[in-house]
Amino acid sequence: MRSFLERWIFPYLTYTDPPQTLFPRRIRTAFIYTMNMGEEELKARGMFETYAAHYALNEGYLARIFGAAEHLLCTDTLQFDDYSRVVADRWDAEAKARRREEVFPADCERAFRLGRTLLDQA
């Protein structure tokens, strides 16, 4: 992802002090992060703040070049269609399936609204 970002923003960077953007207009951008781990587990493992710092860094890159950036976080996702076919006994496959039925539609709706907001503000 880091390589993608660097290649995406590189043509619009100047090497001046302060750096400026050559992008011809301001657009709103966003990241949608999905991960198998839940927010509570991220916090319990002390990783939530580390991830939040990465989100802020990525948003900073895009905001500097394109004008604005934000993110949406979807956690505790269903990683495999069939957990019995992989070594992944760390998670409760039935709970993952229930969450996909109950929470994933709301995550999709949040992503849709985010996209809609980006378009409406363009």
pLDDT tens for each residue of 23-66: 999 999 999 999 999 999 999 999 999 999 999 999 999 999 99
Domain boundaries, the chain: 2-120
Res. 109 pLDDT band, cuts 50 70 90: very high
CA distance 11 to 63: 15
What pTM was computed for the model? 0.84
Query: Which of these, 80, 79, 83, 70, lies nearest to 110 by C-alpha position?
Result: 70
Q: Give the pLDDT of residue 122.
A: 66
Q: Give the pLDDT of residue 58.
A: 93
End-to-end CA distance of the chain, in Å?
A: 25
CA distance 60 to 21: 13
Q: Give the pLDDT of residue 111.
A: 97
